[in-house]
Amino acid sequence: MAGNEHRATATAILPLVGGAANVTSVTHCMTRLRLGLADRSRVDDAALRALPAVLGVVEDGDSYQIVLGPGKVARVTPEFARLVDESANATPLPADGASLSDAASSTADALATRGAEIRAEHRSRNRTPVKLFLRRIADIFVPLIPALIGCGIIAGLGGLLVNLGWAGGLTAALTAISSGFMALIAVFVGYNTAKEFGGTPVLGGAVAAIIVFPGVAKVEVFGTPLVPGQGGVLGALGAAALAAYVERWCRRRVPEAVDVLVTPTLTVLVSGLVTLYGLMYVAGEVAEGIGTAADWLLTHTGAFAGFVLGGLFLPLVMLGLHQALIPIHTTLIESQGYTVLLPVLAMAGAGQVGCAIAVALRLKQNTSIRKTVRSALPAGVLGVGEPLIYGVSLPLGRPFITACVGGAAGGGLVGLFSMLGTKVGATAIGPSGWALFPLLAGNRGLGATAAVYGLGLLAGYGVGFAATYLFGFDSATLSELNADALPASASAPAAAPAAAGVAEPSPAQPSEP
């Protein structure tokens, strides 16, 4: 039955994106079905947002993204890909096809329209060279998130068994299972990097594998032997990007008759030597600096740093700058076992949840907005904040600011405990909200770590709620929105499209707060 449900979701989505002939690529990340489209005008956004399974839509550069949520997207994507293959010659849906959301209430539609306008504004601003580069970096790491999550949870389970005194063969097996991927993560980063930068993926992986090869200990740089793994994912990123550049250079100049021999050899040799005698050392210093800076920041200025990071994360997401944090998270996980930044940033989602509850209570007469909040809130609690951000708080204006205040409060509390000696980290990137609990780690044991994180969430909920309830609306706006209420029967269809709203112009990140 579940398979039929996922097939039905894929079947419902396909004609609304213009049919199989309009789909040029199909991939997915933690929460989103990512599509390449030949003609954007053939997409019926309103009808897509009206589908019960769709939590939101995002247009990020050349990628059209449909938010389905964690778990569901991994099951719908292969069904969708099969439908595209089976219906390659299907007739696209006319651009002026009937919308399924015509019956939505005017208030919810107004919010969704305003959210779409904001999304379009930010999308146009995000097409700068720096932000496009950051998006490419994110595309390298996003496919690794499922493995990071799986291995992180297994590592946490193994640590729990050790704390319970059950050390033995099983814990050794769990350690091997959870550590294998992290030991070779540089290879996967290299593979994805070469693919993203126009090279042969396996050559990127081959060059990145040099970094984790035990034999590098026999190579001396500046009189000091290299350490296997030195430079980690940052070194692998640089090495594979260089390999892609060398390969493209060779393809333009090497005769076709000897290309199959010369190009791979020169690619691996040149980029490999540069990696050994330069990149590994430089990337190692950078990685060590990142770890030191993160520790110092939260140890000495934890409350202030947490307040700033938690309060500014949602605006960073809007600007597309949060993508620069993905390699930093991965570097911290690789070097220290967990990233101390993610739990702080996750508090932004908590502020958003508290804000949404206050909006629903303040707009008691507005059935459509209350339905929007009610349908989007469970996803927000689990860390999928897109429907609430662009479907509720940002279009309303002031509630977006009060949601950031809630995030700042939660981040400040987590940072304060870090100053007091209890660090809260996450063994994987992607999930946030309540979904992050299985991936928590720290220096004081799982119980203390989970307690601090839980207190941070409660602070984010409470302050986000209070700030929005007290300061989220002026009297004129409050009266106007409550006066726009429609009978429940007229606004009932608004729940799905309004909750879907539109999403932030980015990745997760997977599972962005």
**Residues classed as catalytic:** 29
Return the C-alpha torsion angle 221, 222, 225, 231, nearest 10: -60
Question: 191: closest CA among 152, 143, 249, 134?
Answer: 143
CA distance 127 to 63: 13
Q: Answer positive or negative: Cα dihedral of 103, 109, 113, 115.
A: negative
**Residue 445: φ, ψ to 5°:** 95, 160
CA distance 245 to 59: 29
**Is the distance from CB of 198 to CB of 244 less than 8 angstroms?**
yes
**Is the distance from CB of 331 to CB of 337 less than 8 angstroms?**
no
**Residue 426: φ, ψ to 5°:** -130, 135
Q: Which amino acid is at 46?
A: A
CA distance 69 to 510: 10
**Residue 474: φ, ψ to 5°:** -85, 170
**Residue 286: φ, ψ to 5°:** -65, -45
CA distance 426 to 6: 30
Residue spans of beta strands (DSSP E) within 7-60: 23-28, 32-37, 56-60
Give the number of other CB atoms < 10 A from CB of residue 357. Answer: 18
